[in-house]
Amino acid sequence: MNWLLKQKMVAVLFCFLAVGSTVLVATAEVKKKTVAPVTKNPVAQSMVSFETALSKYQVKKTQNFFPALTKRELKIEEALGEETDCEFADQPLLEIMAFFSAKHAIPIIIMSNDLGEEGLTVDEPVNLHIKEVTLHDALELILQPIGLTYIVENGVVKITTTFKASEKLTSRVYPVGDLCRTVEDYVTLESALRNADLGDWRARKTGCASEKTQYQSQKSNGPSPAGGGFFNIPDGKFKGGESVAPLLYEDGDGGTITIVPHSNALVITQTYHAHKAIVDLLTQIREAGVQE
């Protein structure tokens, strides 16, 4: 009986081994069949080539100006681009701004003294019914009809009058060496900025040296560059050797543009909203150049 039992156990063991090897072989065959086609999949290869082609035209969007925005300012700018809904019926302006502040987790304050100068109060009624618009657009739709706007200053969103906002000018340094090589390039870029209705610009003084030598790099008496722009350019030379003379602006309101030759940069003094528009325009110009 013991011998017979041992024979049965050996037979059962062989059966298990045979089944196990079959499963292993079958599993291996499945892996071969599933892995091999992936490496030869023409669709996958075409997707890789498509992504590679796309990467050639992608523009890295970074802060192309100085000083760079702080973390708090970056958070505010991101929030201004978020979608929001507006269902307001005769609600006070103060309540609306408190609602947006809580919903988008950003500080918003109303400059009540500025509003008082225009005969307005924080209780101005707001009527707006619209969905899926950016917070920026919602603020514009609410504030513009009553002569108000917003600016980002000192790490907060300030609600103020359009007049007060136009008086708050800040300076930024815009590196544009990738866009400009010669004086003509800078003159053309200036024309694009000034003619794009991005903000108010201060009048230039007449009779200054730069006006007489608008485009000193010209080697002939041909026509001046398109736009006929003048820059406020400190004394200096570009890498190509073109000399430039200083240009002065009249006293008054409006922004200014100054070339810094050795840094291949523009120093632009403008309002908050004008700077935002300038960043967008320069980004679009760079993207257009990449597409060529």
Of 265, 197, 263, 199, residue with least CA distance to 231:
265
Instruction: DSSP letter for 248, please.
Output: -
Specify the pTM: 0.71
> Residue 55 CB: number of other CB atoms within 10 A?
8
Domain edges within the chain = 71-167, 170-291
Residues 54, 252: Cα–Cα separation, whole Å: 47
pLDDT at res. 246: 58
pLDDT at res. 37: 46
- CATH number, domain 71-167: 3.55.50.30
Instruction: Give the helix, strand, coil percentages of the chain, each rounded to 5.
Output: 45, 20, 30
pLDDT at res. 79: 98
pLDDT at res. 14: 52
Tens-level pLDDT at each residue, the chain (292 residues): 455 555 555 555 555 444 444 433 333 343 444 444 444 454 444 444 434 433 433 334 457 899 999 999 999 999 999 999 999 999 999 999 999 999 999 999 999 999 999 999 999 999 999 999 999 999 999 999 999 999 999 999 999 999 999 999 999 999 999 999 888 899 899 889 999 989 999 987 765 444 434 444 444 444 444 333 445 555 555 655 565 555 678 888 899 999 888 889 999 999 999 999 999 999 999 999 876 5
Q: If 0-12 CB within 10 Å is exposed, 13-18 middle and 19+ buried, where does residue 28 land?
A: exposed
Please enumerate in sequence order all residues whose Cβ is within 8 A of that of 106, keeping only pairs 6 or more positions apart, or say none.
Answer: 75, 76, 79, 100, 156, 157
The answer to whether the beta carbons of residues 21 and 15 sit under 8 Å apart is: no
133 strand-pairing partners: 84
pLDDT at res. 234: 55
pLDDT at res. 261: 83
